[in-house]
Structure 1
Amino acid sequence: MTSAIARTFYRLAGGNKTVPVVLGLRNIYILPTGYGVLYLAVLGAMLIGSINYNNNLGFLLTFLLGSLGLTAMMHTYSMLYGLRLVSVTATPVFAGEPVEVDLRLADVDRPRTGLCWYFKTTHRIRADFRPRQPARVLVGARAGRRGLFDPGWLRIESDYPLGLFRAWARIDTGLKCLVYPRPVSAPVPGNTTVSANQKGDIGQTEGVEDFVGLSAYQPGDSLRRIHWQAYSRGRGLHVKTFAGHAGAGLMLDFDDIKGDDTERTLSILCFHILQAHHQRHSYGLRLAGQTFPAANGRVHRDRCLRALALFGNG
């Protein structure tokens, strides 16, 4: 709640825009660093000494160093000014895994050096960009719990070239990354099969009866089904696919898994969904108020995992 109020106030103040955004006068800030404050203090002492002793060489050195600091400040500000952030995306992950936030920028118009990208609780990623080339930055974050993960404000900083000033901007990316339950291995309940007439005619489903052909290998496929002859001929990794008229499919029911820990139950369901998908079995899912008929494929898997991730979150 506090974070939402802070973001609303920040937008009303004109200091923040959601993606896509162009960094400019309204959302870039600059202040001297610790070294910068010391530098300004030394310049002030030099100016006072030059006035006190009416020393022309002192004036010359003071103004020379002052102009150097001013030039460094303008260069620091220009590293962020005009930067165009066009998209922010993230691939769904499992709870506890690192999230890679993909930041894409429009073509960079000039060299930009020493830009640091990070979220509040993550390490800084330093990146340099060349002109007239699309730019991309991967910033890591860590998802703690299942649901919709909000990494918070994106911070962009630069203290190039002398480290005397630090320019920064904060962007509300509006990113909501889907976080699935962490898979937990546990036995499948005994009453999790559903007959074909209960889930409709599924026709040809993958099984172990008749050889159908070869399909491209996907991570998680059984090594026993790899067609090594095709691999030895330089055709890449393929797996043998079998089909048959399956009379039953796997129906995973939230209520069939005994236990008071909801998160563990969701994790067990997540594990068996992944297993069934990797083994190319037909499966369905039944949650409170939701039923997904038995099917297979990547779209079906993602739909079921999304339901697990958002379970109980409205």
Structure 2
Amino acid sequence: MIAAIARTFYRFVGGNTTVPVALGLRNIYILPTGYGVLYLTVLGAMLIGSVNYNNNLGFLLTFLLGSLGLTAMMHTYSMLYGLRLLRATAMPVFAGEGVEVDLRVAEVARTRTGLSWYFNAADPIRGDFKPNQPARVLVRAWAGHRGLLNPGWLRIACDYPLGLFQAWARIDTGLQCLVYPRPISGPVPGATTASVQREGGIGRTAGVEDFVGLTAYQPGDSPGRIHWQAYSRGQGLHTKTFAGEAGAALMLDIDDIQGGDTERKLSILCFHILQAYHQRRSFGMRLAGQTFPAANGRVHRDRCLRALALYGNG
């Protein structure tokens, strides 16, 4: 509720703050830093002393330092002014991991220096841009629980060049990152079902008995099945595949997991889905009235993991 009120307030006062957005007069704010306050205090004291003693050199030094501070303030503000954020994306992660939010920024016409990017209380990431080059920043956020993660407000700050003033903007990325349950090892739930694919009239399934051939390597494949001899010959990474005369697909069922709370059961299911995928074994899943028929491959794996992430969240 408070976040929604704050978002409405910034939209009303500061104009558009939702990606895609261009930073300008309505959504950039600037205030003096601690050093800036001290600097202004000293300038005020120098001005009072110059007026009191009618000291022309005092006036000269005061106005010179004042113009320096004003120039620094304008440079700080200009580092953000005109910056255009195009989109924000993030790949799904597992609970307890860091999320890397990929921010794409339009090409800039001049150098932008001293920019800090961060979500809420996360450590800031330094992202500087050079003219006529693709601009991209990876900002980390923390995924504590499964579900849809909203990393919150993205803050872009800059105190370049002298650190006397800090300009910042608060941006609503509109991003919702999918967070899978954290995998936990446990007993295999469910049972096996016949999973036979007809190939020339002979039933064959993915197994470990007969060598079939090589397939292109995919991230997540077991290192034990990589054909290292082909790699040493400079032929790239390939994975060995096998087949057997008979086989069975694993049917995972959350109701077959004994003990523990729902989150632990989802984590065990997540673990066995990943294991089956790495072993190139067909698997299906039953989850709260939903049934996912036995299959294999990345698309099927991602579909099942998404169902785990959104379980109980509508």
> What's the CA shift string for 1:121-155, capped at 9, x where partnerless?
21011222111111111111111010011110000
Taking the aligned partners of 1:51 and 1:224, their CA distance within structure 2 comes to 82
Say which is worse superposed, 11-20 or 168-177, in terms of deviation: 11-20
Structure 2 gaps of 5+ residues are none
Query: What is the match of residue 298 of structure 1?
Result: 298
Taking the aligned partners of 1:220 and 1:136, their CA distance within structure 2 comes to 26
Taking the aligned partners of 2:174 and 2:245, their CA distance within structure 1 comes to 46
Give the letter for the 2:158 counterpart.
S
- In the alignment, is the contact (CA less than 8 A) between 2:207 and 2:247 conserved in 1? no
Structure 1 position 236, deviation (Å)? 2.3
**TM-score, with length taken from structure 1:** 0.93
> What's the CA shift string for 1:7-29, capped at 9, x where partnerless?
12322333442111110001000
- In the alignment, is the contact (CA less than 8 A) between 1:85 and 1:103 conserved in 2? yes
Q: Does 1:192 align with 2:191?
A: yes
Taking the aligned partners of 2:243 and 2:5, their CA distance within structure 1 comes to 56
- In the alignment, is the contact (CA less than 8 A) between 2:195 and 2:282 conserved in 1? no
Give the letter for the 1:193 counterpart.
T
Taking the aligned partners of 1:20 and 1:209, their CA distance within structure 2 comes to 53
- In the alignment, is the contact (CA less than 8 A) between 1:115 and 1:127 conserved in 2? yes
Structure 1 position 219, deviation (Å)? 4.3
Structure 1 position 46, deviation (Å)? 1.2
What pairs up with 1:217-232 in 2 under 5 angstroms?
A: 217-232=217-232
Query: What is the match of residue 258 of structure 1?
Result: 258
What pairs up with 1:272-287 in 2 under 5 angstroms?
A: 272-287=272-287
- In the alignment, is the contact (CA less than 8 A) between 1:121 and 1:141 conserved in 2? no
**Aligned to 2:10, what secondary structure does the other structure show?**
helix
Query: What is the match of residue 151 of structure 1?
Result: 151
**Aligned to 2:213, what secondary structure does the other structure show?**
strand
Query: What is the match of residue 92 of structure 1?
Result: 92
Structure 1 position 104, deviation (Å)? 1.2
- In the alignment, is the contact (CA less than 8 A) between 2:191 and 2:250 conserved in 1? yes
Structure 1 position 206, deviation (Å)? 2.0
- Report the aligned-residue RMSD: 1.9
What pairs up with 1:85-234 in 2 under 5 angstroms?
A: 85-189=85-189, 191-196=190-195, 205-234=205-234
Taking the aligned partners of 2:34 and 2:83, their CA distance within structure 1 comes to 26
> What's the CA shift string for 1:218-245, capped at 9, x where partnerless?
3443344332331232212222112356
Taking the aligned partners of 1:201 and 1:304, their CA distance within structure 2 comes to 25
- In the alignment, is the contact (CA less than 8 A) between 1:16 and 1:172 conserved in 2? no
Structure 1 position 201, deviation (Å)? 7.9
Structure 1 position 40, deviation (Å)? 1.1
Say which is worse superposed, 55-64 or 7-16, in terms of deviation: 7-16
> What's the CA shift string for 1:191-226, capped at 9, x where partnerless?
4212349xx989764223443320123344334433
What pairs up with 1:57-96 in 2 under 5 angstroms?
A: 57-96=57-96
**Aligned to 1:129, what secondary structure does the other structure show?**
coil
Identity across the alignment (%): 79
Structure 1 position 115, deviation (Å)? 0.4
Taking the aligned partners of 1:70 and 1:114, their CA distance within structure 2 comes to 18
Structure 1 position 273, deviation (Å)? 0.2
Taking the aligned partners of 1:134 and 1:270, their CA distance within structure 2 comes to 37
**Aligned to 2:113, what secondary structure does the other structure show?**
strand
**Aligned to 1:193, what secondary structure does the other structure show?**
strand
- In the alignment, is the contact (CA less than 8 A) between 1:16 and 1:170 conserved in 2? no
- In the alignment, is the contact (CA less than 8 A) between 2:116 and 2:127 conserved in 1? yes
Structure 1 gaps of 5+ residues are none
Number of positions where the alignment pairs a residue of Structure 1 with one of Structure 2: 311
